[in-house]
Structure 1
Amino acid sequence: MNTNKYDEIIKKSYRLKITHLNDQGYGVASNLLINKRIKKKIVLIVPGTLAGEIILAKPIKIINEKMFFRISKVLTSNQNRKKQDCKKFLICGGCDFRHVNELWLQNYKLMDLNDFNKKLKIKFQVLPIFQSNNYSRQRASFSAEIKNGVFKIGFISIFENQIVELNECKTLNRSLLKIFQSFKNKLSNFIIKKILNLKFKLICCRKVGCII
């Protein structure tokens, strides 16, 4: 696609209607104006949305003929939407469904299992589905970087190549968050004075601690 045309498109916000969800649970939107400008088939993807919703969103990036958007405002909401309990979940990409009620999520999971069952063409029994409690995740892999002497650690954003720092995460075990914060503070004091630029991965486990 023409670079100038792309730059022109991503500067604006667009009114989109969510037609359905894809396999990842992201909303797929329609907008005739964008399709006419690009003049080729491209899928508009908006995480954190539900079918039938009308939203205001801004395009962020294009990957493999998919244009990803970030929600600016929900104009018409689906009845199954609830107030999200985490302000960062759509930025970090660690969770997909913190904006829906429990009944919708149960039905979505069951439909997903049934579709999987049809593809395999085998019979299996679906036991009652339960939802993990907040702060139940025991381990996680974090990304970290030191850029121009500034140390950041957290999750890579699904929208941009940047690290979303986490003061508190709804999925991670509280004791793991304490280990993470302690390690971050000690590492900051030790290396920032000596290293200007560095990127690395960090794996944290509640029982073991943190490993680079």
Structure 2
Amino acid sequence: MRRTKRNDGQLPRNAPPLEVEITHIGGRGDGIGSASYTHKYETKTYTIFVPTSLPGEIVLAQPISINAQGIKTRILELVRQSDQRQTPGCNSFPACGGCNFQHWSRPAIASWKHDLVAHFLSRHDLEPDQMRPMQSSPPASRRRATFQVKRMKDSAIVGFHERNSHHIVAPDGCVILEPALIDLQSALHDFASTHLDAGNVLTAHANLLDNGLCVLLSGQDKWPSSLLAALTDWASKPIFAGAPLARLSVNDGHVPMLLFAPTPAEIRFGDIGIDPPAGAFLQATQHGEASLQAAVAEITAGASRVIDLFAGCGTLSVPLVSQLTHLLAVEQDAASLAALKAGANKAKCGARVKTMQRDLMNAPIQPVDLDHFDAAIIDPPRNGAAAQCAELALSNIPVIAMVSCNPATFARDAEALTYGGYRLDWMQIIDQFLFSNHLEIVARFTKI
């Protein structure tokens, strides 16, 4: 009989606990300290990662796993507590993986996020001429969520993955989500309890649009006709108290199959309505979206020809169309571009909007083509846009509006722009992600 090997790096359950003083919070949201530990007969000082701890606290922590970065632990006891610690608003914290910091006061979180951005800027010798005050979205405003739906033997569970785990936690008293998404969680639970077979697991990607919820289900290699019929019947019932169901689709071989859409789904960017593809990426909150749109509009004011790089459905550029003579939206996802163009055509401004499907990571727009524009908007994914920013740095575009959700890659890409002769005029943190380690940055660069 073969024995199951211990996971690489996993420490024994009876590993002796460590007393650790937390010196700071790392970029992933864990409290960090150091302690002496004996591993494989060698004693040395390790970096210790302690989720849900705060600077200045002393904790008794249980070692869980070890790797080249250090030792991951969990709190057994708070020996000395920070005066910044508060009672979490959600009963599922910290088990639910949606939040890092419900135990930390909001002013302290804001200060930490500001310092995190400043740290990455300093590593690249960057300092904006002006750092504008942070804007934060209010509680109960998160309008997108990815629920895990699982049918068990006697019940069902709908919620989020526990951090670094496949275990599902159903949030109880969530203070982050829009109420309509909490209602959807309850409706999905009722459906799963009635119609899913034991062991079935689905993923529900949900966006709250202007006219209701857009839900994309995945997790089945082949959707049984009986399940599709049950979903269609469920969608048509008036069971969604907070917001109607605007569209229900299932992922059928990575292609969304529409099951229910009484009217076209819609989200408005400025005066233009967009019917985004199922599962489309949208900004996390309406407040965050409006803040980013206002900043980008300010940065690009006076421009008549704008290029939007990593355009998505046009969140940042479509509101500008009425003031432009030409917008080129560049994006890899064909469905997002089609939605953007269809919305512009419906609003009778399609002649001013052109789209280009392109993988900007591997085929960035070259300076000779960038120089036709008065302004550029760039909002890349978390790993940034090193290749495209290298080309932007060589261009003569007068002004660039950069949006980023990753301070590390923002600083790297900003450095490339400054080497190319751009000045970082101002930047601002937009916090759409309450009680988490995530944030958005918007910044204005001008060619010197």
Tell me if TM exceeds 0.5: yes
- The reply to whether residue 203 of structure 1 matches residue 205 of structure 2 is yes
One-letter amino acid of the structure 2 residue matched with residue 84 of structure 1: P
Q: How does 1:70-85 map to 2 (within 5 A)?
A: 70-85=74-89
Q: TM-score, normalised by structure 1?
A: 0.80
CA drift of 1:84 comes to 2.2
**What amino acid sits opposite 2:110 in the alignment?**
Q
Relative to structure 1, the CA distance from residue 88 to residue 147 in structure 2 (aligned partners, 3 Å threshold; closer, same or farther) is same
1:53 is matched with: 57
Q: Residue 97 of structure 1 aligns with which residue?
A: 101
1:125 pairs, out of 120, 130, 140, with 130
Could you tell me which residue of structure 2 aligns to residue 21 of structure 1?
25
Q: Kindly report which structure 2 residues correspond to 1:1-212, keeping only aligned pairs within 5 A, or say none.
A: 3=6, 6-10=11-15, 13-32=17-36, 35-38=37-40, 39=42, 43-62=47-66, 66-120=70-124, 121=126, 123=128, 125-148=130-153, 150-158=155-163, 160-191=165-196, 195-206=197-208, 207-212=212-217
- Matched-pair contact (CA < 8 Å) for 1:60–1:160: no
2:90 and 2:171 in contact (8 A); partners too: no
Worse overlay, 132-141 or 143-152: 143-152
Q: 1:176 to 1:63 in 2, by over 3 A?
A: farther
Structure 2 Cα separation of the partners of residues 64 and 211 of structure 1: 39
SS of residue paired to 2:118: helix
Contact 2:150 2:192 in 1 (8 A): no
Segments of 5+ residues of structure 1 without an aligned counterpart are none
Give the SS at the match of 1:182.
Answer: helix
Q: SS of the residue aligned with 1:128?
A: strand
Q: Distance in 1 between matches of 2:30 and 2:83?
A: 17
Note the alpha carbon deviations across 1:167-203, whole angstroms, 9 max, x for none.
3311101121012211221232111xxx232333211
Cα offsets for 1:10-41 (capped at 9, x unmatched)? 5x544322232212221113332xx2145377
Contact kept? 1:26, 1:49, Cα under 8 Å: yes
3-state SS, counterpart of residue 193 of structure 2: helix
* Aligned residue type for 1:176: L
TM-score calculated relative to the size of structure 2: 0.41
SS state at 1:49 partner: coil
Shift in Å at residue 107 of structure 1?
1.7
For residue 160 of structure 2, give the secondary structure of its aligned residue in structure 1: strand
Is 1:61–1:159's contact at 8 Å kept on the other side of the alignment? no
Q: 1:72 to 1:132 in 2, by over 3 A?
A: farther
2 CA distance for matches of 1:104 and 1:91?
22
Separation in 2, partners of 1:146, 1:7: 32
- What SS does the corresponding residue of 2:11 show, helix, strand or coil? helix
Residue-by-residue CA offset, 1:54-80 (whole Å, 9 max, x unaligned): 112333445665433222332201222
Conservation of the 8 A alpha-carbon contact between 2:140 and 2:178: yes
User: For this pair of structures, how many residues does the alignment match?
Assistant: 205
Relative to structure 1, the CA distance from residue 211 to residue 106 in structure 2 (aligned partners, 3 Å threshold; closer, same or farther) is same
* Counterparts of 1:60 and 1:142, CA distance in 2: 27
Q: Are the equivalent residues in 2 in contact too, given 1:26–1:46 (CA < 8 A)?
A: yes
Say which structure, 1 or 2, has more relative contact order (CA 8 Å, 6+ apart). 1
Q: CA RMSD in A?
A: 2.9
**Identity percentage over the alignment?**
23
Tell me the SS of whatever aligns to 2:114: helix
Contact 2:90/2:173, CA 8 A, preserved across alignment: no
Mean CA deviation greater in 67-76 or 56-65: 56-65
One-letter amino acid of the structure 1 residue matched with residue 162 of structure 2: S
